Amino acid sequence: MLDYDREADCYDATRGGQVRADAAADALDWLFGPTVRQVLDVGAGTGIVSAALAATGKTVYGADASAGMLRLAAGRLPGRRMCADVTRLPVRDGMFDGVFVMWLLHLVRDSAGAVAECVRVLRPGGLFVTSVEVHSTHQRVASDVTEILMRYAKPGWQDRERDRRDKVVAAADAAGARYAGETTYVGHGRGMVPAHVAREMADGMVPIGRLDDDAKAACVRELEALPDQTARRPDPVYTLVAFVA
């Protein structure tokens, strides 16, 4: 997993920046609607999405486990930040109209516990929104990079995704929240770059199943042989799913 304290300074610039944040905020605003006014962004990072959503008139608070990320969020969320783990939020029950989790559940070992904690801090009728299947979303984008990765992927690798849709739906149901709708948005600036993916594959950071050393090396060689090594491939389209408490 990334060291988010160390990555904080370059995080936004390497992950789509303001354009992607605005697209995400537009999707969130559409799902939340006008009645959701007080919102918690869990895994807020640098606060770039929080601030974009706040520009629509909502009051947005940010929670993140990374002090480095929260340092950068200070200017975007003045007085509305907390250092917290998604499974242990320092917030009383029913405090928020809305809670959202972007690009986080796939990293959380106890993703069901994280969903339950997010639902806990919602008022009755409040909305919980989360991204789902982040990794497999990237692999579904047709490109020369994904064609190589899918040839090397281990069968059933998607079954281990912590943010798989059916797992998230089951966790929300167990926490007392029911499906309320969904939408999509373009992950601007998140298309795969062959040179970057080759490095991540060599470091064991591409989640397509555990490859042996020979298979990993062969996959890296194929990725490094692709043309336009630093050219970004098509952007993914992320899905956000909403649940009502």
Report residue 136 as tokens. Answer: 């497999």
**Which is it for strands 237-244 and 38-42: parallel, antiparallel or unpaired?**
unpaired
pLDDT at 3 over 70: no
- With contact defined as beta carbons under 8 Å apart, do 20 and 187 qualify? yes
List, in order of start, the domains of the chain with CATH numbers: 4-135+158-191+234-244 (3.40.50.150)
pLDDT at 14: 52
- pLDDT band of residue 160 (cuts 50, 70, 90) is confident
pLDDT at 38 over 80: yes
Backbone angles phi, psi at 209, to 5 degrees: 100, 160
Measured in residues, the chain has a length of: 245
Q: Does pTM surpass 0.95?
A: no
Report residue 86 as tokens. Answer: 């998604």
C-alpha dihedral sign at 32, 34, 36, 37: positive
What is the distance, to the nearest Å, from the Cα of residue 61 to the centroid of all Cα atoms in its chain? 17
- pLDDT band of residue 8 (cuts 50, 70, 90) is very low
